[in-house]
Amino acid sequence: MKVSQRINTQKNVIIIRDEIDRVLNHARIASHSAIHFLEGKCDSATQTDIRKIVATIPDIRTVSLLRGNEIYCSSVFGAQFFRLDAQSTPPLGLSLMDGNALTPYRSLLIYRTEHVGKSVMVGIDGYYLQNKLKTNDRRTDYQMTLNGLTLNAAGQVLTHRNNTASARYFSPVYKYQINANPVVPVSPDVLLKTVWQDEKLGVCLTLLLSALLSTITTKTLSHRNTLLFMLKKALDKNELIPFIQPIVEAESGNTVGGEVLMRWKHPQRGHISPEHFIPLAEQNGLITRITQSGLRQVADTLNSGDIINSRDMTLFFNVSAADFMNHDIIDWCRKFMRKTPFSGWQIGLEITEREPVEDTQLVQTLCEQLDALGVQISIDDFGTGNSNYRYLMQFRPRYIKIDKVFTLGIETDASKEAIVRNIIAIAQDMRCMTIAEGVETASQKVKLAAMGVTHFQGYYFSKPVDMATFFQNTLNTLP
């Protein structure tokens, strides 16, 4: 290896190690802050305090208190009991896990400390660590190894030992190491000769398969390209139309707002689901145009003169991380307000962590300006792994949206009930309102209302409808 490359690798490893040490320091601070709660009960004050730890200390996802192998108090489930089996009980100190019940597909790092026969378990999302392992060094893979388990930059937890690491660096503070593995370029003629001798049939099959695969890949890629191309054209031709799903106030039963959901009606292909085009737009820098288009189309309809009277309403628009990269959103909201003839109409912005919004100075300034405009922030998908407590501190939202996974089965599923009870408790503590999504039945509505949810949204009340229908219905139900 060239000296310059080796120096570069060393430099990267030191940066990674320092950043991971900093994350682990946060875990240690969180654990220290939580340890004296082991002496008391899991009352609502303690539950709020441990949630505050999650909300205020960076990188921390969960804090749980354990008696033996039983969780009796946690930031996610409150005072709900959970017995961990021997396999899923992490050892004292640091350990890597492949995921847990709440985030099964995400790796997790646990920091567990003991005190008077009980213990504190602090969870860090592997996503935060995996991002630290990403560098712009294409010739080296960086990995973190802890107790025989290895986390790579793709977020996978691997069990095999890695012997090819060109360099291993131990953290001076914690019991993990960073491996730097060269990405080995194989000389093509050596590879061909040995493989041909050993695997004639295999090689033929592989060639056949790869030809097949490349045809499929080209087809898929070109399909993706066409979809992207079509999406760009659709935006130019205003084929993306805002639909609105009513939001109903629990106390009065009145429609007091709506969520704007974009629908793509392609002239030939028919309806294309937002599940396909929203992620595509997010990956390709088109999402801000969709946000702008939604705000503009709704404002134009309000401004058209067709709507002559209305009660006060908040219209919620979904926004993505890219909408927080510059000040455009402020202009769009300002234009919306200017075009709206009713003073009681407000804008809500629904934020999710699907693509995380960083906590930067720019974002803070944007939030202050949005707040000054009267724009209300709502945290979408709360509690699903797409949105967590960090956002509550960062955005100080007016609304928290309880995801539909919790609404479905709330009447019978005790753990969903516990989660929703805790979301409502923290919302009340932070003076936020709660919107339960995906309400499909009367019994879900009754249960959620009894638990203290302030607003509902879901098929029980109405599917998303076109703007004309939404405005007609809300006008017809004027008192």
Nearer to ligand G, 47 or 291 (CB): 291
Rounded least distance, CB 232 to ligand G, Å: 16
Q: Report yes or no: 377 and 351 within 8 Å, Cβ to Cβ.
A: yes
- Residues comprising the chain, all counted: 479
Asked whether position 257 contacts ligand G by CB under 6 A, the answer is no
Q: Report yes or no: 456 and 247 within 8 Å, Cβ to Cβ.
A: yes
Rounded least distance, CB 110 to ligand G, Å: 29
Q: Report yes or no: 178 and 168 within 8 Å, Cβ to Cβ.
A: yes
Nearer to Mn ion, 64 or 292 (CB): 292
Asked whether position 437 contacts ligand G by CB under 6 A, the answer is yes
Q: How many whole angstroms separate alpha carbon 359 and alpha carbon 352? A: 14
Asked whether position 59 contacts Mn ion by CB under 5 A, the answer is no
Nearer to ligand G, 152 or 318 (CB): 318
Of 445-474, binders to ligand G (CB under 6 A) are 458-459, 464
Asked whether position 130 contacts Mn ion by CB under 5 A, the answer is no
Classify strands 240-249 and 455-456 as parallel, antiparallel or unpaired.
antiparallel
Instruction: Note the helical H segments in 346-407.
Output: 361-373, 389-395, 404-407
Nearest to 352 by CA among 298, 315, 399, 285: 399
Of 301-360, binders to Mn ion (CB under 5 A) are 318, 350
The kind and range of the H/E element at 111 are strand 108-115
The kind and range of the H/E element at 151 are strand 149-151
Q: Which does 50 bind (CB under 5 to 8 A by kind): Mn ion, ligand G, none?
A: none
Judged by CB under 6 A, the residue of 274, 356, 385, 452 near ligand G is: 274
Which range, of 92-100, 267-275, 295-303, 448-456, touches ligand G by CB under 6 A? 267-275
| # chain residues binding ligand G, by CB under 6 A | 24
Judged by CB under 6 A, the residue of 9, 46, 291, 340 near ligand G is: 291
Q: Which does 141 bind (CB under 5 to 8 A by kind): Mn ion, ligand G, none?
A: none
Asked whether position 262 contacts ligand G by CB under 6 A, the answer is yes
Three-state DSSP at 216 gives helix
Q: Which does 404 bind (CB under 5 to 8 A by kind): ligand G, Mn ion, none?
A: ligand G
Count the Cβ atoms, other than its own, within 10 Å of residue 313: 22
Asked whether position 380 contacts Mn ion by CB under 5 A, the answer is yes
Q: How many whole angstroms separate alpha carbon 352 and alpha carbon 350? A: 7
Q: Report yes or no: 304 and 338 within 8 Å, Cβ to Cβ.
A: no
Q: How many whole angstroms separate alpha carbon 375 and alpha carbon 164? A: 54
Three-state DSSP at 223 gives helix
Rounded least distance, CB 380 to Mn ion, Å: 4
Q: How many whole angstroms separate alpha carbon 370 and alpha carbon 364? A: 10
Nearest to 431 by CA among 454, 407, 460: 454
Q: Which does 458 bind (CB under 5 to 8 A by kind): Mn ion, ligand G, none?
A: ligand G
Asked whether position 404 contacts ligand G by CB under 6 A, the answer is yes
Amino acid at 449: A
Nearer to ligand G, 33 or 245 (CB): 245
Three-state DSSP at 70 gives strand
Q: Which does 278 bind (CB under 5 to 8 A by kind): ligand G, Mn ion, none?
A: ligand G
Asked whether position 248 contacts ligand G by CB under 6 A, the answer is no
**Token couple for 97:** 């896990």
Task: Provide the mask over 301-340, with x wherever binding to ligand G is found by CB under 6 A and - wherever it is not.
Answer: -----------------xxx--------------------
Judged by CB under 6 A, the residue of 380, 382, 410, 470 near ligand G is: 380
- Chain positions contacting ligand G, by CB under 6 A: 245, 261-262, 273-275, 278, 287, 290-291, 294, 318-320, 380-381, 404, 437-440, 458-459, 464
- Chain positions contacting Mn ion, by CB under 5 A: 318, 350, 380
